[in-house]
Amino acid sequence: MDIPDPLRYARTHEWVSEPEDDVVTVGISDFAQDQLGDVVFVELPAVGDRVSAGDAVAVVESVKTASDIYAPVAGEIVEVNGDLENAPEAINEAPYDGGWLFRIRADDVSARDALLDADAYRAVCEEEA
């Protein structure tokens, strides 16, 4: 199970990158994609959408189930990963690279600090495994 240290994690299995000019990248963790199985479809938010932390903003569908994806921080969606429309399997193949979902210009980037660090998230995954 790959859980990169520089990222922060939500208990709902989204990861958040370090901010660049108040923008964070969001995706689902390696643990989450493994639990979902083969991803076959992704419904992404629209650029310009305003989201609050905890809002369901995307859906990832796999051969097993559909799962809501939640905004880990509040802000404005500034970019979505359009490549996933034709290649949703990128989430399984590279959840931290080509499989990212969307980018948020955070209202308060310090909100990221309230999310789980890699060690705390690893403990959550071990409880759920």
Q: What is the pLDDT of residue 128?
A: 87
pLDDT tens digit sequence for 28-62 = 999 999 999 999 999 999 999 999 999 999 999 99
Q: What is the pLDDT of residue 53?
A: 95
pLDDT tens digit sequence for 77-86 = 999 999 999 9
Q: Which residue reads 């989204």 in tokens?
A: 14
What's the pTM value of the predicted model, to 2 decimals? 0.96
| Contact present, 15 and 9 (Cβ < 8 Å) | yes
Sheet holding 66-70, edge to edge: 39-43, 56-62, 66-70
pLDDT > 90? residue 1: no
Q: Which residue reads 């938010």 in tokens?
A: 45
Question: What backbone phi and psi angles, to 5 degrees, belong to 10?
Answer: -95, 155
| H or E stretch at 104 | strand 102-106
Average pLDDT of every residue of the chain: 96
